[in-house]
Chain A
Amino acid sequence: MLTESEKEEIAEEVKRAGHARAACVDALRIVQRRRGWVCDEALREVAALVDMTPAELDSVATFYSLIYRKPVGRHVILLCDSVVCWVMGHETALEHLTRRLGITLGETTADGRFTILPTACLGACDRAPAMMVDEEIHGDLTPEKIDRILEQYR
């Protein structure tokens, strides 16, 4: 069940967009911001609010890699694998993260603390290799720096 505040916020977004379907991505983000991800039940309810069928909305939801249709950890690590980061040591960073957390891309740690996902570009090529944890970008990654960064997120 969507909460009243979720419904209200979605309704506002729909009003602002002028066209219910145009608000669909924002509506999904509203739900995800509160719950961390979008479950099937929430998706079906959002679909009704934006005048789409569940299939139509899920088509949008699954297209966007930043709309999560499965539960994620408390903190999401988006590790950039675009060409500059790749040249500058993306693989070393990934190897280190995998060793430290015991998970690889697309997985969540057993304690629910971290999820690692790939991303195509963070716009931080000048600080490659880079990753984003939650809303924050971290560049010039080295194994030591990664360890320090991870400590900031509990």
Chain B
Amino acid sequence: MVATLHIDGAAYSVKEGQNLLQACLSLGFNLPYFCWHPAMHSVGACRQCAVKQFKDEKDTRGKIIMSCMTPATEGMRISIEDPEARAFRAGVIEALMVNHPHDCPVCDEGGECHLQDMTVMTGHVCRRARVRKRTHRNQDMGPFVNHEMNRCIACYRCVRYYRELAGGRDLDVFGWHHHVYFGRQVDGPLESEFSGNLVEVCPTGVFTDKTLKGHYARKWDLQTAPSVCVHCSLGCNTIPGERYGELRRVRNRFNEEVNGYFLCDRGRYGYEYENSDLRLRHPLRLGAEGPRPIPSAEAVSYVAGLLRNGGRVLGIGSPRASLEGNFALRALVGAGRFFIGWPERERALVTTALRLLREGAIRTPCLREVREADAALALGEDVSNTAPMLAFALRQCAMQRKIKVAAAFGIAPWDSDAVRLVGQDEKSPIFIATPCGTRLDDIATRLWRAAPEEIARLGFAVAKALDPDAPEVPDLSDEAKSSARDIAAALREAERPVVVSGTGAGSPAVLEAAGAVAAALRRLGRNVQLSLVLPECNSAGAALLGGGSLAGALSEVRKGQVDTLIILENDLYRRLNAEAADALLAGVKHLMVLDHLANATTARAEVALPCATFAESEGTLVSQEGRAQRFFAVHPARGEVRESWRWLREIGMAAGQSEMAAWQTTDDLIQTLSQEPGLSGVKEAAPGREFRAAGQKIPRQPHRYSGRTAMGADVSVHEPPPPEDRDSPLAFSMEGYQGQPPAALVPRYWAPGWNSDHALNKFQGEVGGAVRGGPAGVRLIEPAADAPARYAAEIPPPFQPAEGQWLVVALHHVFGSEELSAHTPGVAQLAPRPYLGLSPEDAQRCGVGEGDPVELAVGSSVQQLPARIIPGLPRGLLGLPAGLAGVKVVELPAGGRVRSVTGGPP
């Protein structure tokens, strides 16, 4: 419903029932606010957004109202410019500033501070208060968030965000009166994996980015570009910032359909691997004295020579490399000789997931749709560790029930406190079945802890309880039967149920079971969606490109069919156990590796080529949603570093593959790869290099970028020309179109008077809604409307713990399990030390206490680890941390044996 709203005498159409603040901001008015946030809505605490409301045309006196707490109604008359309203707002900010230290010059928030913007907006320029300011002691909150309490204006946004949206329980507000203190009960790292958003949620400099502090630059001095997170499969949108050739920080890039206003800490803080000392900066050739740098041309001609002389070549791509890199490698070695560098089991899992989404009739939701779902079943996947922002979305899904309850009382969804008060403990039905406890357990209606097969069986039983035509699950326990009935009942009643699963449990049966639940709901005519988490940032892209697994590569090598092996952005020693990786690499005469960081695989390479990271190159990643998204270079690569595909192209051309010469730019390559089946949408992911806004390129540097002529003066006093970007419509320059580009090209948020992230308001069609200028990214996978909802034929037998035999499952960790972010100091600090998880019962039976050394044997792989006793882990299961440095690589789940090293029964 549209209502006509009169603002200062002019009529505007707004959404009826929307709060006036959001309506005014959406219309483009500059109305100051603090406690309101588009994702957290209204509480009416700060009194900053006051406007005047008039009864009718004749009313000249009016009354002051809080715009964030007042719904827009038909014919309403308000004034923003009314002198009394202006004076009121100025008075509020003057009071808020009484205790503020005015330390902007030394504050990290300075220049992108909402408090600065709002203070200027209200015209408060002169301090009258002559009082002693209150001061606080700051806390150490861990490696990510810096705390400076004196700057606080007590808007309460931090605790509202942390408690209500992120589900954290260790940040709170203490004291009363003008002594309120926002912090932890004692010093220590913030426990929530979403703590970094405090940096953006805080309207001033209380919470700032601690990693940025380590290499600080003002917002206006950062070169930025639209990017996509590479640290899990969700593809959250980011804005990394660079200065002096180093990444300085990552901020959120708003994508209404994906991450919205927030990021997880792995995504926000994982970037520092880009600046790591492990970076390869020059081509290296392995000689008798170890690797030595060689000129690029020599490296290219050497490898080309290996290819040209009829050498049999094999390529191993990577699910963490871009589509472009993988495609270029495939083109170089030929489709039949190209293998995605993942173990056979991972390939089977990812292709199963993709098959469910591509061949089924069920849609995979974007994260916004998960946030808006009203019931959820998470089957087998610990999303809080494998895809944190999906866990965050499920937390918002849990809130939907409160919103619904409140709506029955006529309470608008934006009336945040009222919704919570009326909603009390109500939450949407959310069922979580995982091998081990998760950080989402607090929102679960019910929890199951079981082995992957048992979880799959529970899923199949739910499908059967929903649809009698679904296959029967044999030998089902009464408890599982009744659980399945309860889940089925809740999902059946939901309007927008979502089933979440993924490859994390390592079980295709779990994926099939999730598919079966969705299929059963679909057959009942429910509007169900299926979200499947994948292992890495481009797992979906790699699977769409096709290609065999490492098992295929190994068999080629064993047959003696390989002279030269080219490995793209892939450390095989993280995929295979050391013996298998050694065997594979030993079987080839020549090994060439392209990667960002030195690792066990590059150490074995005869030639290692330094390739550009996500921040130094342009490319496309396909998220678990099937969304192709383009990331753009934030800064030009230094030294000999270049895009993987450019290395491969040069080698190809030198080896006589003339068709590669046509790839002058990323666009040319994208044009070619878009002809692949299923990938035609890739070229639509973002505007191509020819795009111009008002005839100009989009500058990566803000118009206030400083030191441009001086920053290279230690090398040369002559200012070099800005590096040319042939690949994209963005420029490594401060010159160009300073207005709003299309959504996929937005390099930063800034608008006159809005220096903070809240400038985003000016980029959105409606504040809180989508960014103007088209979608950022393109969905490559949509369900076939007429596809029948089918069931998997095979249902696994029940899991029975056997004496002396354990099932080893992978336990994922948000910090430590992902390869690249683990090279970031803060992430490494928060990562767990290696361990082997045992249930309390099993630990007792084996005579093992917390921290005792135990020996784990899986097949021929034997390793010693300290025991960690995990309450809730089912008996008969052992938990081994996935991807953690110091833990031997084992394909999981797998049978294994454990014994106490200090003695005790086997």
Q: Which residues of A contact B (CB under 8 A)?
A: 40, 53-56, 58-59, 62-63, 65
Given A54-B185, A55-B184, A55-B185, CB of A65 within 8 Å of CB of B176: yes
Given contacts A55-B184, A55-B185, contact A62 B176 (CB under 8 A): yes
Partner of B169, one of A40, A55, A62, A63: A55
In Å, the complex CA distance between A65 and B175 comes to 9
B171 at the interface (CB under 8 A from A): yes
Interface contact A55-B172, CB-CB below 8 Å: yes
Q: Which residue of B lies closest to A57 (CB)?
A: B185
Chain B positions within 8 Å of A56 at CB level: 169, 172
CB of B170 within 8 A of CB of A63, answer no
Secondary structure type dominating chain A contacts: helix
Q: Which residue of B lies closest to A43 (CB)?
A: B185
Closest to B163 in A: A56
Q: Judge whether B76 is part of the interface by a CB distance below 8 angstroms.
A: no
Q: What would be 6 A-B contacts, judged by CB atoms less than 8 Å apart?
A: A53-B170, A54-B185, A55-B185, A59-B172, A62-B174, A65-B176
> Most B CB atoms within 10 A — which of A56, A58, A59?
A59
| Closest chain A CB from B45 CB (angstroms) | 15
A74-B176 Cα distance, complex, nearest whole Å? 25
Cβ proximity bits B839-874 to A, threshold 8 Å, 1 near / 0 not: 000000000000000000000000000000000000
Interface string of B169-183 (1 = CB under 8 A from A): 111111110000100
Which one of A53, A55, A59 has the greatest number of beta carbons of chain B within 10 Å? A55
- CB pair B173 A59 closer than 8 Å: yes
A142 to chain B, nearest CB (A): 30
Contact B174 A59 (CB under 8 A): yes
Question: Nearest CB to that of B181 among chain A residues?
Answer: A62
Q: How far is the CA of A49 from the CA of B170 in the complex (A)?
A: 17
Q: List chain A residues, Cβ under 8 A from B184.
A: 55
- B175 near A62: Cβ-Cβ < 8 Å: yes
Known contacts A53-B185, A56-B169, A58-B174, then 19 further A-B pairs from the complex at CB < 8 Å, ordered by chain A residue: A40-B186, A53-B169, A53-B170, A53-B172, A54-B185, A55-B169, A55-B170, A55-B171, A55-B185, A58-B185, A59-B173, A59-B174, A62-B175, A62-B176, A62-B181, A63-B174, A63-B175, A63-B176, A65-B176
**Alpha-carbon distance between A62 and B171 when the two chains are bound, in angstroms:** 14
CB-CB under 8 A from A55, the residues of chain B are 169-172, 184-185
Alpha-carbon distance A86/B170, docked complex (angstroms): 40
In the bound complex, CA of A58 to CA of B186 (Å): 10
8 closest A-B pairs by CB = A55-B172, A59-B172, A55-B185, A62-B174, A53-B169, A54-B185, A62-B175, A58-B185
Q: How far is the CB of B423 from chain A (nearest CB, A)?
A: 15
When C-beta atoms are compared, the residue in chain A nearest to B177 turns out to be A65
Which chain A positions have C-beta within 8 A of B174? Answer: 58-59, 62-63
Cα separation A58 to B175 with both chains bound (whole Å): 9
B→A interface (CB under 8 Å):
169-176, 181, 184-186
> A53 — which chain B residues lie within 8 A by C-beta?
169-170, 172, 185
Q: How far is the CA of A53 from the CA of B175 in the complex (A)?
A: 16
The answer for the CA separation of A85 and B60 in the assembled complex, in Å, is 41
Whether the Cβ atoms of A58 and B176 lie closer than 8 Å is: no
Once bound together, how far apart are the Cα atoms of A54 and B191, in whole Å? 13
CB nearest neighbor in B for A44: B185
CA distance in complex: A60, B778 (Å): 48
Distance in angstroms between the alpha carbons of A59 and B184 in the assembled complex = 10
A56 to B173, CA, bound (A): 8
For the complex, what is the distance from the CA of A56 to the CA of B186, rounded to whole Å?
Answer: 12
Nearest chain A CB to B754's CB is how many angstroms away?
Answer: 33
Q: How far is the CA of A65 from the CA of B172 in the complex (A)?
A: 17
Q: When chains A and B are docked, how far (Å) is the Cα of A65 from the Cα of B171?
A: 21
How far apart are the CA atoms of A65 and B176 in the complex, in Å?
Answer: 8
Residue of A nearest to B159 (CB): A59
How far is A62 from B136 in the complex, measured between Cα atoms in Å?
A: 15
Q: How far is the CA of A40 from the CA of B176 in the complex (A)?
A: 19
List the B residue with the shortest CB-CB distance to A63: B176
**Please, which residues of chain B bring their CB within 8 A of the CB of A40?**
186
- The answer for the CA separation of A56 and B175 in the assembled complex, in Å, is 12
Residues of A near B173 (CB, < 8 A) are: 59
Q: Which residue of B lies closest to A62 (CB)?
A: B174
B175 and chain A: residue at smallest CB distance: A62
Q: How far is the CA of A55 from the CA of B174 in the complex (A)?
A: 8
Complex Cα spacing A40 to B173, Å? 16
Q: Which residue of B lies closest to A69 (CB)?
A: B174
Residues of chain B within 8 A of A59, CB atoms compared: 172-174
A63 contact set on B, CB distance < 8 A: 174-176
Please give, as numbers and ranges, the residues of chain B lying within 8 Å of A58 by CB-CB distance. Answer: 172, 174, 185
B361 to chain A, nearest CB (A): 44
User: What's the nearest-Cβ distance from chain B to residue A13, in Å?
Assistant: 20
Give the complex CA separation of A53 and B186 in angstroms: 12
Q: Which residues of A contact B181 (CB under 8 A)?
A: 62
- Closest beta carbon of chain A to B188's beta carbon, Å: 11
A40 CA to B186 CA, complexed, in Å:
10
CB distance from B362 to the nearest CB of A (A): 39
| Distance (whole angstroms) from the CB of A82 to the closest CB of chain B | 14
Q: B186 to chain A: which residues have CB within 8 Å? A: 40, 54
- Distance in angstroms between the alpha carbons of A40 and B187 in the assembled complex: 13
Q: With A and B bound together, what is the CA distance between A59 and B180 in angstroms? A: 10
- Shortest CB-to-CB span from A9 to chain B, Å, is 24
Residue in chain A with minimal CB distance to B182: A59
Q: How far is the CA of A55 from the CA of B170 in the complex (A)?
A: 6
Measured CB to CB, the nearest residue on chain B to A52 is: B169
Q: How far is the CB of A17 from chain B (nearest CB, A)?
A: 14
Contacts of B176 in A (CB 8 A): 62-63, 65
Contacts of A65 in B (CB 8 A): 176
Q: Which residues of A contact B171 (CB under 8 A)?
A: 55
- Closest chain-B Cβ to A57's Cβ sits at a distance in Å of 8
Q: Bound complex: CA of A63 vs CA of B172, how far in Å?
A: 12
In the complex, which of the residues A40, A58, A65 has the most CB atoms of chain B within 10 Å of its own CB atom?
Answer: A58
Complex alpha-carbon distance, A62 and B169, angstroms = 16
Residues in A whose Cβ lies below 8 Å from that of B175: 62-63
Instruction: Give the docked Cα–Cα distance between A54 and B185 (Å).
Output: 6
User: In the complex, what distance in Å separates the CA atom of A54 from the CA atom of B169?
Assistant: 9
Bound together, the chains give a CA A63 to CA B173 distance in angstroms of 9
Q: How far is the CB of A149 from chain B (nearest CB, A)?
A: 28
Distance between A106 CB and nearest chain B CB, rounded to angstroms: 11
State how many angstroms separate the Cβ of B173 from the closest Cβ of chain A: 6
Q: In the bound complex, what is the Cα–Cα distance between A59 and B169 (angstroms)? A: 11
**Interface-central residue, B172, B176, B186, by most chain A CB under 10 Å:** B172
**Chain A residue with the shortest CB-CB distance to B425:** A19
- The complex places the Cα of A149 from the Cα of B167 at a distance, in Å, of 51
Hey, which chain A residues are within 8 Å of B170, CB to CB? 53, 55
A58 to B172, CA, bound (A): 9
In the bound complex, CA of A56 to CA of B162 (Å): 12
Residue of A nearest to B191 (CB): A53
Shortest A41–chain B CB gap in Å is 12
In the assembled complex, the Cα of A59 lies from the Cα of B181 at a distance in Å of: 9
Give the residue name and chain of the B residue nearest to A58 (CB): B185
Please report the C-alpha to C-alpha distance between residue A62 and residue B174 in the assembled complex, in whole angstroms: 6
**Bound: A93/B129 CA distance, A:** 29
CB distance from B154 to the nearest CB of A (A): 13
A59 to B176 CA separation, bound complex (whole angstroms): 9
A62 to B181: give the CA distance in the assembly, Å.
10
User: Nearest chain B CB to A37's CB is how many angstroms away?
Assistant: 16
Q: Which residues of A contact B185 (CB under 8 A)?
A: 53-55, 58
Q: Min CB distance, B516 to chain A, in Å?
A: 37
Most chain A CB atoms below 10 A, which of B170, B171, B175, B185? B185
Which residues of chain B are near A54, meaning CB under 8 Å?
185-186
Q: How far is the CA of A109 from the CA of B480 in the complex (A)?
A: 65
Q: What is the distance, in angstroms, from B740's C-beta to the closest C-beta of chain A? A: 41
Closest to B169 in A: A53
Q: What's the minimum C-beta distance from B56 to chain A, rounded to whole angstroms?
A: 39
Question: In whole angstroms, how far apart are the Cα atoms of A40 and B174 in the complex?
Answer: 14
Q: How far is the CA of A55 from the CA of B176 in the complex (A)?
A: 15
Complex-state Cα separation, A58 to B171, whole angstroms = 11
A78 CB → nearest B CB, Å: 16
CB distance from A46 to the nearest CB of B (A): 13
In the assembled complex, the Cα of A147 lies from the Cα of B184 at a distance in Å of: 43
